[in-house]
Amino acid sequence: MNKEAKKIGVYVCSGCGIGQNLDIDALQSAASENNDISISRVHSFLCQKKYCEIIHNDIIDKELHSIVIAACSPRVKTKEFSFDPSIVVERVNLREQVIWCNPPNDEDTQMLAEDYLRMGVAKALIIEQPEPFISSTLNSDILVVGGGISGITSAIESAKAGYRVVIVEKEAQAGGWSSRLLKQVPYSDPFGTLQDPIIHEKIKELQSFKNITLLTSSEIKEISGQPGEFSVSILNKNTIMEYMVASIILATGWEPYNATNLKEFGYSMHADVVTNVELEEMAKSGKIVRPSNGQDVQSVLFIQCAGSRDKKHLPYCSAFCCATSLKQAKYIRNFSTETKVFVVYKDIRMPGKLEYFYKEIQKDEQIFLTKGTVSEITEENNQLLVTVKDTLIDEVINIKVDLVVLATGMTPRNSEDLNLTYRQGKGLPGLKYNFPDSHFICFPYETRRTGIYAAGAIRAPGTISACIEDATGAALKAIQCIESTKRGESVHPRSGDISSPELYMQRCTDCKRCTEECPFGAYDETEKGTPLPNPYRCRSCGICMGSCPERIISFKDFSINAVSSMIKAVHIPDEFEEKPRILAFVCENDAYPAFDMAGINHLQYSAYIRIIPVRCIGSVNKVWISDALSQGFDGILQIGCKPGDDYQCHYIHGSELTETRGENIQETLQTMMLEPERIRTEFIEINEFNRIPEMIEDYLETIEEIGPNPFKDM
Amino acid sequence: MSFIEPDIDFIKHLKKDCGSVLTTCMQCGSCTAVCDLSPENNPFPRKEMIWASWGLKDKLLGDPDIWLCHQCGDCSATCPRDIRPGDVIASLRNYCYQYYAKPHFLGIIMQKPAFLPLIIGFPVVIISLILILAGTFKIPDGPVIYSKFFPHGLLNISFLLLVLASFSGFVIGLKQYWKNLKHSTTVVKPNGTLLPGFFSVLSTILTHKNFRFCTTNRYRYWAHFGVFWGFVMLLAVTFYAILATLFFEYPMAFWNPVKILGNLAGLFLLIGCSIMIWQRIFDSEKRTNSNYSDWFFIISLFLLTASGLIIEIARLQNWSYAYHLYFIHLVLVWMVIMYIPYTKFAHFVYRTIAMTYSKYLGRI
């Protein structure tokens, strides 16, 4: 629908102090300055039920297409201000980001409020309500890759929820690592004694479900498609089987760290230095002896963190080795009452209630534990001499032992076993330490491939109990994905969003930027390089929209045009008024809420700033920057979430992209003969709202130094 | 190269003696953090806890720090694993009495309740023998005059001889202890000299300064203060009394200043012991666990004092059982004094030596 035909209603709330701090009449007339407003109302209590009914009636009576609510932050009162789903509702944030952070009845505050309202109206005139895309070929089955404890748990949990599951296992028997254990570290109260591995029960349970198909001796040959309609071909003992599934759980688990790298602990140099995996094999076979001569062991020393939490090897903690070593210490003590067991650790780490197990093990006076660093292992008289420094005993100690056990950590298996036909590769992109998990606090199980969820040791190293918990969580995510896809909604983090990018293909130059930069591999490619969107893989972040030099990618409710018109709606005072204008693109995920928090805390910052919320800082298109500069803005701030492993961008690398795209933008500035300082990128965490006033002041100083934008009034 | 050789029997013994699963210590150091007496460098009791868990007996036997502890129980009340470091340290001290005892078997039987009849029987037999030899082993008639029944001279001499014998064994044990102290602490240059160190420690002991640090356990200061000074004063009065049996009037008149001092000291001791016993039974926070050797020492001291006061009343009141009571009192005197090197009573010697040594090293 074109802009002129749109009927729009503007509702200004004068409650919460807005009326006392702003000139509401002037505000109302600003809204209708250049636009034909069908109805404009002011009320001191807009969000009350009675008044929302009036708005609702207006929508029907006046046949409105869009309404603008100028009141509080769009993050609050969402339920009150939700009307007919076909109606565009644009919220203008007069409370948190205008009156709560600026002096009352001030000229600049008033200008800020008027600009925001004009921007809101401009946007409301352009955007439209999206409609969900619902494919006719969607199904509800789940594919589980890997038949270890995690895969089996995921399959059982999904089947319990009523979904059909296909579970693929490479080996001839399901069970994985945990079926090769003699005993398991305690997993239920009172967490004191070793228990039989839970996997055997789980396998039995798995076999009792009719809606689970277990394919052993099988491998994934190829996976193509998108959530709701993945097409999978499985190589099962020389025959190819085809399945259609809606989501995938990747639970291929771990491999032990290659101990031959651990020269410092004498592995492969002394026969009596073994790994925890090798000791487990010995215990399972019924006899723990010295590999060198087959004799019984009188004393054993465990080296914890062998290669773990060590920058030279694995920088992380594998979370299972401490408990496993104590379990194996118990094996050894059970085999022989005479044997002494020493455990040298960096820190003993006992996740959850395993602390009780640790305490129980400590009760044995023939198990000796100390913090320490093993500095040397030598062989003498057919025994191993271990030198340990930095011990709790506060001196360098020497211990003579028959066997040394290296507690080595877990490394994730290669996710390329999935054999995806995605343009961005066969596997899942590795994140921190090459585990394919996206963010371990905020978005567990989410990988960078929508509809594919990682569970168990491939997601993060851990104990069997952790894997079971993990697998259950991943099953839940897989189910969520299936159901969201059926409704045409995107999954985390924009859960429930029905918008998806629309490409105006006639103008596409096949530059491949969108297909390369999409963090989720949503675009496949023709041989020529033309993007082929897969809407169900999309998370609606808009990074492709930011990447497109031809500006052909937009969403119905978030478009190149809409933001450009918001930029153009701002009144830029001329140079002589000495009122600079800063445009801030603010990420909706962390930075925008941080601005709201600053308002809630009544932190005061300059009224020269104009904020435009964006889905991700990576969705900022270069054209908006040139629009803003030619409009006369003196500077542009891009405020995104913190990049990096520990505090991730919600779309994984949107923030980082903003930095790398900076080069292109500098070129734009050069062609416009402008200073590079006119654009600054900042990263902020949600709890860093205290930094906002300082951040803005600092940038304003820089802008004052370099002077006003020469394009003003041109 | 020396190798770590954990002594598993030692760990088992300690566990049994203090009733704590001390190997479950996770070395958090809460005990050390709350201890007001612990020195800044190499503080206790954390390091003692890992030494004990690893069965490093030699280190512990020569460790002066276990004697710097005054057993206030703050650490035990704080321990998150509830393994009562204070009691572990107390057990280690107990082990020292046993380990350094000469002759060794006396150290062992003192700590075993099964030998209690033997321990009591020994002075009973000796005293009875002396009475028989002196020919006074018959309850006299008339007003109570203890010397009619008890030959003071003979008793005093035999008592002194026995104490001398037991104390010479003590000296031999202490020499070994001193050697171990020096062996287990490697200090390049001591921070003080022995004699001034000793005097400084003596003043600490006389004023009970360290007991004042036990802020959450105030009663211990008063109880120990009473027992200590009561005992010291009574010791002085007793010496005077021995002299009095030879040269002056004995028994002393009720208003004799020495007698008054003696009675006062008896009251001090009695009250101090009573508080200690009371606290050990009714300690709501269960700061300290009392084992056989604790009870043996405190109860014998209490009975000694109580019986002393009772026989004084018995004499003044001319009770017919006065002589029997005196006999019991005499047995208790012998038990407490003669067995000093083998019981908890020895702590005052070990502690003084350890504190002096620590002062000498500059640790305290």
From A361, which residue of chain B is nearest by alpha-carbon distance?
Answer: B24
Q: Is the pLDDT of residue B4 over 80?
A: yes
Cβ contacts (< 8 Å) between A362 and chain B: which residues? Answer: 21, 23-26, 53
Mutate to test the interface with A, among B1, B4, B58, B83 (most CBs of A within 10 A): B4
Residue B39 near chain A (CB below 8 Å): no
Contacts for A42 with CB less than 8 Å, ≥ 6 apart: A11, A12, A13, A14, A24, A28
Distance, in Å, from the CA atom of B302 to the CA atom of B292, rounded to the nearest integer, reads: 15
Cβ contacts (< 8 Å) between A371 and chain B: which residues? Answer: 27
Cβ contacts (< 8 Å) between A398 and chain B: which residues? Answer: 1-4
pLDDT digits (tens, 9 = 90+) for A333-346: 998 888 999 999 99
What distances in angstroms separate CA B232 from CA B209, B237, B260, B329, B330, one per listed residue?
Answer: 17, 9, 15, 18, 18
What domains sit in chain B, N to C, each tagged with a CATH number?
A: 8-100 (1.10.1060.10), 112-361 (1.20.950)
Which residue range is the domain that position A19 belongs to?
1-129
Instruction: Provide the H-helix boundaries in A501-638.
Output: 513-517, 543-547, 560-569, 591-600, 622-631
- pLDDT confidence of residue B319: 87
Shortest distance between the Cα of A423 and any Cα of chain B, in A, equals: 52
pLDDT digits (tens, 9 = 90+) for A606-640: 999 999 999 999 999 999 999 999 999 999 999 99
Closest Cβ opposite residue A359 in set B4, B24, B42: B24
Do A59 and A113 have their domain in common? Answer: yes
Distance, in Å, from the CA atom of B13 to the CA atom of B99, rounded to the nearest integer, reads: 13
From B24, which residue of chain A is nearest by alpha-carbon distance?
Answer: A362
List all residues of chain B from 10 to 29 with a beta carbon under 8 Å from chain A.
11-12, 15, 21, 23-27
Closest Cβ opposite residue B8 in set A366, A392, A397: A366
Distance, in Å, from the CA atom of B331 to the CA atom of B128, rounded to the nearest integer, reads: 10
What the block records as the tokens of B290 is 């009392």
Residue that terminates a domain, selected from A392, A425, A454: A392
Q: How many residues does chain B have?
A: 364
- Full-model pTM: 0.86
Which span out of A688-692, B109-113, B240-244 was modeled with the highest average pLDDT?
A688-692
Distance, in Å, from the CA atom of A426 to the CA atom of A220, rounded to the nearest integer, reads: 11
Shortest distance between the Cα of B36 and any Cα of chain A, in A, equals: 22
Give the number of other CB atoms < 10 A from CB of residue B91.
25
Do A30 and A87 have their domain in common? Answer: yes
- With respect to residue A354, please indicate whether it lies within any of the assigned structural domains: yes
What distances in angstroms separate CA A379 from CA A389, A402, B221, one per listed residue?
Answer: 18, 10, 56
Radius of gyration of chain A (CA): 31
Strands A373-380 and A239-245, bridge-based pairing: unpaired
Are the Cβ atoms of B42 and A394 closer than 8 angstroms?
yes
pLDDT digits (tens, 9 = 90+) for A95-146: 999 999 999 999 999 999 999 999 999 999 999 999 999 999 999 999 999 9
Do A433 and A481 have their domain in common? Answer: yes
Distance, in Å, from the CA atom of A186 to the CA atom of A310, rounded to the nearest integer, reads: 28
Do A429 and A373 have their domain in common? Answer: no
Strands of chain B, DSSP E:
none
- With respect to residue A533, please indicate whether it lies within any of the assigned structural domains: no
Q: What is the DSSP string of A162-174?
A: T--EEEE-SSSSS
- With respect to residue A625, please indicate whether it lies within any of the assigned structural domains: no
From B56, which residue of chain A is nearest by alpha-carbon distance?
Answer: A393
Cβ contacts (< 8 Å) between B12 and chain A: which residues? Answer: 365
Strands A218-226 and A229-236, bridge-based pairing: antiparallel
The enclosing domain of A45 has a CATH number of 3.40.50
In contact, A697 and A680? CB cutoff 8 Å: no
What is the average pLDDT across B203-217?
83
Cβ contacts (< 8 Å) between B55 and chain A: which residues? Answer: 365
- Rounded to 5°, the CA angle B103-B104-B107 comes to 105
Residue A425, amino acid: G
Are the Cβ atoms of B23 and A362 closer than 8 angstroms?
yes
In the DSSP assignment, the letter for residue A184 is B
Distance, in Å, from the CA atom of A196 to the CA atom of B112, rounded to the nearest integer, reads: 44
Q: Is the pLDDT of residue B153 over 90?
A: no
- Whether the CA torsion A565, A570, A575, A576 is positive or negative: it is positive
Do A68 and A178 have their domain in common? Answer: no
Are the Cβ atoms of B21 and A363 closer than 8 angstroms?
yes
What distances in angstroms separate CA A108 from CA A111, A599, A637, one per listed residue?
Answer: 5, 16, 19
Give the number of other CB atoms < 10 A from CB of residue A541.
28
Closest Cβ opposite residue B3 in set A370, A392, A398: A398
Are the Cβ atoms of A368 and B26 closer than 8 angstroms?
no
What the block records as the tokens of A451 is 């509809």
Distance, in Å, from the CA atom of A51 to the CA atom of A45, rounded to the nearest integer, reads: 8
Q: Is the pLDDT of residue B251 over 80?
A: no
Mean pLDDT of chain B: 89
Q: Is the pLDDT of residue B284 over 70?
A: no
Do A232 and A291 have their domain in common? Answer: no
Are the Cβ atoms of B12 and A392 closer than 8 angstroms?
no
In contact, A574 and A713? CB cutoff 8 Å: yes
Do A270 and A379 have their domain in common? Answer: yes
Closest Cβ opposite residue B24 in set A362, A366, A393: A362
List all residues of chain B from 242 to 261 with a beta carbon under 8 Å from chain A.
none
Question: Would you give the end-to-end CA distance of chain B in angstroms?
Answer: 32
Give the number of other CB atoms < 10 A from CB of residue A693.
15
- With respect to residue A419, please indicate whether it lies within any of the assigned structural domains: yes
- Rounded to 5°, the CA angle A385-A390-A393 comes to 85
Q: Is the pLDDT of residue B299 over 80?
A: yes
CA A36, distance to chain mean position in Å, is 43
Task: Tell me the sheet residues that pair with A10.
Answer: A40, A68
CA A299, distance to chain mean position in Å, is 47
Q: Is the pLDDT of residue B143 over 80?
A: yes
List all residues of chain B from 140 to 199 with a beta carbon under 8 Å from chain A.
none
In contact, A154 and A610? CB cutoff 8 Å: no
Are the Cβ atoms of B26 and A358 closer than 8 angstroms?
yes
- pLDDT confidence of residue B74: 87
Do A346 and A448 have their domain in common? Answer: no
- pLDDT confidence of residue B285: 65
Are the Cβ atoms of B50 and A370 closer than 8 angstroms?
yes
Residue B286 near chain A (CB below 8 Å): no
pLDDT digits (tens, 9 = 90+) for B252-271: 888 889 999 999 999 999 99
Q: Is the pLDDT of residue B128 over 80?
A: yes
- pLDDT confidence of residue A1: 65
Residue A216, amino acid: T
Residue that terminates a domain, selected from A486, A506, A535: A486
- Rounded to 5°, the CA angle A362-A367-A368 comes to 90
Distance, in Å, from the CA atom of A100 to the CA atom of A102, rounded to the nearest integer, reads: 6
Residue B51 near chain A (CB below 8 Å): yes
Distance, in Å, from the CA atom of A174 to the CA atom of A166, rounded to the nearest integer, reads: 13
In contact, A138 and A246? CB cutoff 8 Å: yes
Contacts for A451 with CB less than 8 Å, ≥ 6 apart: A226, A227, A228, A230, A246, A247, A248, A478, A481, A485, A491, A536, A537
Shortest distance between the Cα of A330 and any Cα of chain B, in A, equals: 15
Distance, in Å, from the CA atom of B258 to the CA atom of B260, rounded to the nearest integer, reads: 5
Shortest distance between the Cα of B329 and any Cα of chain A, in A, equals: 45
What the block records as the tokens of A519 is 């963090």
Distance, in Å, from the CA atom of A420 to the CA atom of A154, rounded to the nearest integer, reads: 21
CB burial class (10 A; 0-12, 13-18, 19+) of residue A173?
exposed
Are the Cβ atoms of B54 and A364 closer than 8 angstroms?
no
The SS3 of residue A502 is: strand
pLDDT digits (tens, 9 = 90+) for A476-531: 999 999 999 999 999 988 999 999 999 999 999 999 999 999 999 999 999 998 99
Total domain count, chain A = 3
Distance, in Å, from the CA atom of B63 to the CA atom of A125, rounded to the nearest integer, reads: 85
Distance, in Å, from the CA atom of A639 to the CA atom of A593, rounded to the nearest integer, reads: 12
Shortest distance between the Cα of A654 and any Cα of chain B, in A, equals: 43
Cβ contacts (< 8 Å) between A370 and chain B: which residues? Answer: 50, 54
Give the largest CA-CA distance in chain A. Answer: 99
CB burial class (10 A; 0-12, 13-18, 19+) of residue A178?
buried
Shortest distance between the Cα of B24 and any Cα of chain A, in A, equals: 5
Do A160 and A77 have their domain in common? Answer: no
The SS3 of residue B204 is: helix
- pLDDT confidence of residue B195: 87
Strands A247-250 and A142-145, bridge-based pairing: parallel
Are the Cβ atoms of B26 and A362 closer than 8 angstroms?
yes
- pLDDT confidence of residue B248: 78
Are the Cβ atoms of B50 and A365 closer than 8 angstroms?
no
From B43, which residue of chain A is nearest by alpha-carbon distance?
Answer: A394
Do A117 and A165 have their domain in common? Answer: no
Distance, in Å, from the CA atom of A476 to the CA atom of A470, rounded to the nearest integer, reads: 10
Shortest distance between the Cα of B291 and any Cα of chain A, in A, equals: 21
Residue A102, amino acid: N
- With respect to residue A539, please indicate whether it lies within any of the assigned structural domains: no
Residue A402, amino acid: D
- With respect to residue A453, please indicate whether it lies within any of the assigned structural domains: yes
Residue B81 near chain A (CB below 8 Å): yes
Residue A288, amino acid: I
Are the Cβ atoms of A365 and B23 closer than 8 angstroms?
yes
Mutate to test the interface with B, among A322, A365, A396 (most CBs of B within 10 A): A365
Do A40 and A75 have their domain in common? Answer: yes
- With respect to residue A423, please indicate whether it lies within any of the assigned structural domains: yes
Distance, in Å, from the CA atom of A319 to the CA atom of A36, rounded to the nearest integer, reads: 64
Do A35 and A95 have their domain in common? Answer: yes
- With respect to residue A374, please indicate whether it lies within any of the assigned structural domains: yes
What distances in angstroms separate CA A194 from CA A329, B125, B188, B338, one per listed residue?
Answer: 11, 58, 49, 53
Distance, in Å, from the CA atom of A78 to the CA atom of A76, rounded to the nearest integer, reads: 5
The enclosing domain of A353 has a CATH number of 3.50.50.60
Shortest distance between the Cα of A693 and any Cα of chain B, in A, equals: 43
Cβ contacts (< 8 Å) between B10 and chain A: which residues? Answer: none
ipTM of the complex: 0.86
What the block records as the tokens of A301 is 């020393």
Residues of A with CB under 8 A from a CB of B: 340, 348, 358-359, 362-371, 385, 392-394, 397-400
- Quick one: what percent of chain A has pLDDT higher than 70? 99
Residues of chain A with pLDDT under 70: 1, 439-440, 646-647, 713-714
Residue that terminates a domain, selected from A129, A153, A180: A129
Cβ contacts (< 8 Å) between B51 and chain A: which residues? Answer: 393
Closest Cβ opposite residue A340 in set B1, B6, B42: B6
Give the number of other CB atoms < 10 A from CB of residue A359.
18
Closest Cβ opposite residue B11 in set A365, A370, A392: A365
